[in-house]
Amino acid sequence: MRLEIFQATIDDLEALLPLVTGYRVFYEREPKPQSEREFLERNLRDGRSTIFLARDAGSGSIVGFVQLFPAYSTVWLGPQLILEDLFVAPDARGGGAATKLLERAETYAREIGAVGMFLETAMDNETAQRVYERAGWTRENRFYKYNAKL
């Protein structure tokens, strides 16, 4: 598969929506088409996140995406990126889209002068863990993650 990686704009919303629904279903969330649309539209219009898409150059279909949100580090005195979402359509997996999207995310982080990037994934998502580790990401072993129920 020949892939093209590019930054999403509001014009890509319709092509992105099915992937976001698939991503949420993967994490056992009920599809919410209107809420998903509003969330992505707001992110794209207001620049709240940066989204890169992977397109199969042969078919022209969008096969994956990565979404990055800004954060800031007092320890490192600079901007960081949260890699919030990385998803490749099941029928396109194994074609290199996840790797290419990770590479583009890292390039973007360097372009904006980020001091680091971080992500979290489910403990049982061994496939994703292998992708991240092959790309040079290392598993955190110094900090615990805590969640507050709101």
3-state secondary structure 67-131: EEEEEEECCCCEEEEEEEEEEECHHHCCCCHHHHHHHHHHHHHHHCCCCEEEECCCCCCHHHHHH
pLDDT confidence band for 144 (50 / 70 / 90): confident
pLDDT at residue 98, as a whole number: 96
Mean pLDDT, to the nearest integer, of 65-92? 95
Q: Would the pLDDT of 112 be above 90? A: yes
pLDDT at residue 30, as a whole number: 96
Q: CA angle, corner 96, sides to 9 and 85, nearest 5?
A: 45
pTM: 0.93
Overall fold of domain 3-134: Aminopeptidase (3.40.630)
Going from the C-alpha of 56 to that of each of 103, 118, 122, the distances in angstroms are 17, 27, 27
Domains of the chain, by residue range, sit at: 3-134
